Structure 1
Amino acid sequence: MTPPSFDCTGVIPASLLPLHADFSIDIESYRKHLNDMADVRGISAITVNGHASEVSSCTFDEQQLLLETACDQVGDRVPIVSGIYADSTAEAVRLARMAENAGASALLVFPPNVFALGSRPEMVLAHFTSIAEATSLPLIIFQFPVKEPLSYGHDVIGRLIDSVPTIRAMKDGSSDPVRSEMAVREYQSDTFSVLTTHSAWLLQSLVVGCKGILSGAGSTIANLQVELFEAVRGHDLEVAQAVAARIYSTTQAFYCSPGVDMHNRMKEAQVLLGRLPSSVVRPPLQKLPAAEVERIAELMRVAQVL
């Protein structure tokens, strides 16, 4: 089956990783989770093998299984974006080739963790060029918060766009509204999209002009993200503000400290909603205390999603 084409815009939820008590992948629940997301009217794609699916704990074979399962389960309904999470360029190239063969429609390229010690522009450019030479799929840059070493300088992003024709979008996690607006105004075009992942200020980033949302929270509230995206596109400020107010409560539930638990909290939300049978996470992550689960439930009630 030829993968559906994808223009790297719109609302793109990222899947979670259902697990059994022994930490093995619960494929049956994963298939249901994929269906739940694909059933949301208005989404444009689904991302797998990202932070939300605990990709750092997954082997190459598990990542291949998750991608192939997604393509088999919902790939005829929505495009599948696969994360490229690797600490070496060689492994990133291997993952990219696997993803294209498995049926992905685009690739979300994470920065190698070695860049946490700092990087030179030519390192970043060579990494993306090697991936682009290994696959014909569109590439999405993953931009980390600008205060973190894993982020790319504004000029580096410009060089990537100019030098690698298959780079078609950026997942903007810069956590800086000024840098985010700069990216929209200076780099966004008919062939390059800025996708916000700023759940704390989705409304603002969409109003500035981001062409879509790529977020782990979409695993649970993709319907609200679609409503917000469409309201902004339709210039309906009243509806957009009302939806943003509901999203605000879910943001308080999912994105509090410590940040490492954000997708852990989304799993608990899925259990509360009756969508997943358990909230098991792989160590070093640990199950949340009962008091925090109750806090999540209360905030979901405030958001009118529970």
Structure 2
Amino acid sequence: MFQGAMVAIVTPFKNGQVDEKALRELIEFQIANGTHGIVPCGTTGESATLSFKEHERVVEITVEQVGKRVPVVAGTGSNNTEEAIRLTRHARDAGADGALMICPYYNKPTQEGLFKHFEKVATSVDIPIVLYNIPGRTAVNMAPETIARLAKIDNIVAVKEAAGTMKQITDIIALCGEDFAVLSGEDYLTFPLLCVGGKGVISVVSNIAPRDMADLCNLYFEGKLTEARRLYYRLLPLCHGLFCETNPSPVKAALAMMKKIESEEVRLPLVSLMEASRAGLKRILEAYGLI
């Protein structure tokens, strides 16, 4: 259902408010450059510091602006199961094509707690669900065996896997089978993941280089492995450069340098890039030809 390069789109801010005009323009930039899907209100979209009202509005804007041209998979995760159900229900009612659900953070649930959390949301809201495993942010790793249990639930259709290891990726694919989509949550693992049977990436890099990230996936699916591998290595400096500090501060700085957004504003406790990081990122963007 979900494959290719889907952008984990930033939420642009201006003077402390969501910049709706800039968000719509970013969506058009993505679609014009062949992105395979839009994912608002994920980690890159700073969902953790959006109010419920802002979160819902960003999803509504995205669905409206996309107009069914590509799938919209709205971030709806929470460390409170009832809040996750509320956000997921809103995404469904707003017209999103799927929901991206992060593992509950801070609580540190057991594997059984993770299973029960996602099971409860999936059975409460009839929408395709993409699990999101990112232990570096949540303090808990969802085991491949737990993902395999969840994959048996009809509307849990994919996982965004960001544990950062090929062992975990291959274990999930082996346990879950071809009908369950494994998507990379790490841009730098996109090509290796495709080679072992993954279906694509939910990408930070696509914010600034959507055409190339989409083409990497397109080339792979067309069987043009040499060309795909060459493009992967071209993209690799961006994959590393956009994580020189905590995401999404670098990608917002990059978009501002590219004149795609007016302000690189992030919300506390995130801060704008330090000057050394900014200088290094600028060199990478210049070398790539983005500025």
**TM-score, with length taken from structure 2:** 0.94
Residue 168 of structure 1 corresponds to 157
Residue 187 (structure 2) pairs with residue 185 (structure 1): no
1:37 aligns with 2:30: yes
CA distance in 1, matches of 2:236, 2:163: 19
Task: Please say which of residues 66-75 and 289-298 is displaced more in the overlay.
Answer: 289-298
Pair 1:305-2:270 in alignment: no
Contact 1:198 1:205 in 2 (8 A): no
Worse overlay, 90-99 or 180-189: 180-189
Distance 1:133 1:237, change over 3 A: closer
Match of 2:231 in 1: 243
Sequence identity percentage: 23
Q: Output one character per residue of 1:213-246: Cα deviation in whole Å (capped at 9) or x when no partner.
A: 1122222222111121122222323312321122
Conserved in 1, the CA contact under 8 Å of 2:9 and 2:40?
yes
2:290 and 2:174 map into 1 onto residues whose CA distance is 34
Which of residues 216, 219, 229 is equivalent to 2:207? 219
Which residue of structure 2 aligns with residue 4 of structure 1?
none
Equivalents in 2 of 1:292, 1:133: separation in Å?
44
Q: CA RMSD in A?
A: 1.8
Change (3 A) 1:148 1:132: closer
Partner of 1:140: 130
1:47-85 Cα deviation digits (max 9, x unpaired) = 011011111000111110000011111133122111112
Measure, in 2, the Cα distance between the counterparts of 1:302 and 1:278. 23
- 1:19 maps onto 2:13 in alignment: yes
1:247-286 alignment to 2 at 5 Å? 247-256=235-244, 258=245, 260=246, 262-286=247-271
Quote the residue 2:68 is aligned against: 76
Matched, 1:107 2:99: yes
Q: For structure 2, which runs of at least 5 residues remain unmatched after alignment? A: none
Unaligned runs of 5+ in 1: 1-6
Amino acid at match of 1:153: A
How far 1:288 moved relative to its partner?
Answer: 1.3
Cα 1:65–1:148 shift into 2, 3 Å: closer
3-state SS, counterpart of residue 46 of structure 1: strand
1:124 equivalent among 87, 109, 114:
114
The farther-off stretch of 139-148 and 105-114 is 139-148
1:140 aligns to what SS in structure 2? strand
Cα distance in 2, alignment partners of residues 201 and 98 from structure 1:
32
Task: Quote the residue 2:21 is aligned against.
Answer: 28
Select which of 159, 181, 194 maps to 1:206. 194
Query: How many pairs align?
Result: 291
Instruction: Give the residue type in structure 2 aligned to 1:75.
Output: G
State how far apart, in whole Å, the 2-side matches of 1:105 and 1:237 are.
30
Identify the residue that residue 145 of structure 2 maps to in structure 1: 155
Question: Who is 1:55 aligned against?
Answer: 47
Assess if the C-alpha contact under 8 Å between 2:190 and 2:200 holds in 1.
no
Whole-Å Cα distance in 2 between the matches of residues 38 and 209 of structure 1? Answer: 26
Distance 1:207 1:215 in 2: 17
CA distance 1:197–1:88, change in 2 (3 Å) = same
- How far apart in 2 are the matches of 1:146 and 1:282? 20
Structure 2 counterpart SS, 1:94: helix
